Chains A and B, each alone.
With several copies, the nearest count.
Chain A
């Protein structure tokens, strides 16, 4: 089992003929994801890799193929429009990989997605992978293995690092989700934690946060109040200076708000074991399974 995707998820790829879109479409297909359609305006009628039909619009793709999810690999200037389009076309799940989306664009895209009843993951995220089932996004398939640990993270390669170390130690994952490093995102820690709590295949959760905002603090309270499963955590950015954007648009300490210390102490107060080093997560998880 898994959260947000399963074996029936059928995917339309927005920007399928682009450099990133085409590369990752092949990776997703290779991993077993059902990629049923692609969209590139003006290339409707083409067939990608002799197997995936391409359409001018997502609406047409959904109508013709019944796609239930969308992955977005388009340039930042067009990303919010792609999100609007996917939501409008009626897919249930939208995964926006694109980095660099203006935050002002997301201000209207987020309520639109909500009104249409869709779930957005991202933007500026690696997407999600359910080991052995399928993946949407760019998480590398070769580092995961099926198992009981749910992983939710604001990061990309740091998540890979954690997954990789778990896999090396023989601890598999139920679903790994990167929720994205931007200040405004569609799916937050709490959304993922709630889903993991309800997912019978998940036995424990690793939550990987970073500086900026208060999402981790809110999530900690959720864990305390609503979760029966063990949760362990790590926060990146203990040495980050205030007021500087650390790569991710959302990774910034504003005034005194959003420090790693604050988040780590919120974790501890809510009985979330905190790893000092990414490598420590392995032991913390292992002892709680």
Chain B
């Protein structure tokens, strides 16, 4: 799960990280009011789950409250990477002496959380990693011991030779790590971490990605989910316990198992079609889930055919077939449907489906070809 910059700032603040003030506005008037409260120059920043806000015009400096209102007006409603900006963060502009990068990421290769610092802040860390990796100092944290004070200190001295700045940075690094662990993060970034001419180190921007699997025990973090920023179909799927991701194609895919679902999408493409989605209904043959799957796929107006690909391992194919029949009794599906069921009790399943007027197949390649043809209108 992604959370917004202003939410990540709240979490950091709760862990003691010095984060300058800042408030969220959903209207230009609100932004003006907030800016007036601070006085002086402010920054207005789009709160949206997409990178590259700056380049997209989502971050603007405003001279005063009236200007903040104008800037907020320009940013609110902006489309950034397909997402509409609904909120802006208004924060006093900071005096910046230096900008650095500080990030923690769950690293699969080393099976540890890796802390990265770079004195080249405010930039894209992936770009720095690709072009001059020597500018990034990395540390793999041994989770058994946690981040040790001397490790935080060594990273801090890699950023600042001045002891006063380094001591502040060491504290911030430890606090960020605590926040990262406590909030179930897989990524947490402060970019830039600034020092001011007065010798203070502060977190200006903040980004956090949360491990979905950790949310069940983090109700406070779960509460930060911005449902408005979610795709409605994806939200509906999530709430029904389905895993769904919308794509641009026209063949709706409903599969049991994530790997098989991806392979099915790939096969749609292989046979000249375009998958409309990733949808994993898991091992259940519960008609409720099948109903929801139909509702989600049919709500995508681009979808022209629906493809079921079910491998009955533990799941019995006849159970799934009954689920599909039951679901289509409850809701009307106008689109052509191609179904493949293989494995345990497949013959029974095919009989059930045919009796109820469905196309029923047992081969994965065949059903994909059929669904692609249906979507292309080259099949009845």
User: Are A and B in direct contact (Cβ within 8 Å)?
Assistant: yes
Task: Give the interface of A toward B (CB within 8 A).
Answer: 23-24, 27, 41-44, 56-59, 76-78, 81-82, 84-85, 88, 100-104, 106-108, 110-112, 138-140, 142-143, 153-161, 164, 181, 183-184, 208, 210-215, 218, 234, 236-241, 244-251, 255-256, 260, 276-279
Of the four ranges (under 10, 10 to 19, 20 to 34, 35 or more), the interface on chain B belongs to 35 or more
Question: By the criterion CB–CB under 8 Å, are A102 and B261 in contact?
Answer: no
Chain B residue nearest to A260 (CB atoms) is: B266
Contact with A along B260-278 (1 / 0, CB 8 A): 1111011111100001001
User: What 8 A-B pairs are tightest by C-beta distance, nearest first?
Assistant: A155-B259, A247-B258, A42-B163, A157-B257, A85-B150, A158-B259, A107-B143, A140-B313
Which chain A residues lie closer than 8 Å to B259 at the CB level? 153-159, 181, 208, 210, 236, 247-248, 251
Q: In the complex the two chains form, is A240's CB within 8 Å of B262's CB?
A: yes
Chain B residues near A208 (CB, 8 Å)? 259
Q: By the criterion CB–CB under 8 Å, are A236 and B262 in contact?
A: yes
A161 B311 Cβ-Cβ under 8 A: yes
Q: A88–B152 Cα gap in the complex (Å)? A: 13
Contacts A107-B113, A278-B364 given: A143-B148 contact, CB under 8 Å?
A: no
**Cβ of B11 to closest chain A Cβ, rounded Å:** 15
Closest B residue, CB atoms, query A183: B108
A143 → chain B closest CB, angstroms: 7
**One of B86-94, B95-103, B212-220 contacting the partner:** B212-220
Binding site for A on B (CB under 8 A): 106, 108-109, 111-113, 126, 142-145, 148-151, 153-154, 157, 161, 163-164, 166-167, 181, 184, 186, 211-214, 216-217, 243, 245, 247, 255-263, 265-270, 275, 278, 280, 311, 313-314, 342-344, 364-365
Q: Determine whether the beta carbon of A239 is less than 8 Å from that of B247.
A: yes
Residues of A within 8 A of B278 (CB): 240, 244, 246-247
Residues of A within 8 A of B113 (CB): 107
Chain A residues within 8 Å of B365, by CB = 277, 279
Most chain B Cβ neighbours within 10 Å, of A59, A110, A157, A277: A157
Give the one of B143, B150, B275, B311 with max A CB within 10 A.
Answer: B150
Count the A-B residue pairs with Cβ separation under 8 angstroms: how many?
203
User: Known contacts A111-B144, A213-B108, A240-B278; is A58 also within 8 Å of B256 by CB?
Assistant: no
Instruction: Say yes or no: B267 contacts A214, CB within 8 Å.
Output: no
Taking a contact as CB atoms closer than 8 A, the residue among B106, B153, B261, B269 that contacts A57 in the complex is B153
Contact A250 B257 (CB under 8 A): no
Q: Chain A residues near B163 (CB, 8 Å)?
A: 41-43
Q: Are B214 and A104 in contact (CB under 8 A)?
A: yes
A and B contact pairs by CB, cutoff 8 A, 8 listed: A84-B149, A104-B214, A157-B257, A157-B311, A158-B260, A158-B311, A236-B259, A246-B262
- Chain B residue contacts of A210, Cβ below 8 A: 258-259, 262
Which one of B150, B217, B245, B258 contacts A248 once the chains associate, using CB atoms below 8 Å?
B258
With A88-B150, A277-B365 as given contacts, are A103 and B214 in contact (CB-CB < 8 Å)?
yes
- A247, B212: Cα distance in complex, Å: 11
Is the pair B262, A140 in contact by a Cβ cutoff of 8 Å? no
Q: Contact between A41 and B157 (Cβ–Cβ < 8 Å)?
A: yes
Most buried by A among B154, B163, B166, B259: B259
Q: A84-B150, A108-B144, A277-B365 are in contact. Are A157 and B266 (CB under 8 A)?
A: no
The answer to whether B314 touches A249, judged by C-beta atoms less than 8 angstroms apart, is no
Q: Chain B residues near A108 (CB, 8 Å)?
A: 143-145
Contact, CB under 8 Å: A42 / B108: no
Of A57, A101, A277, which one neighbours B213 at CB under 8 angstroms?
A101
Judge whether A57 and B266 touch: CB under 8 Å: no
User: In the complex, which residues of chain B have a beta carbon less than 8 angstroms from the beta carbon of A181?
Assistant: 258-259
Partner of A82, one of B150, B184, B263: B150
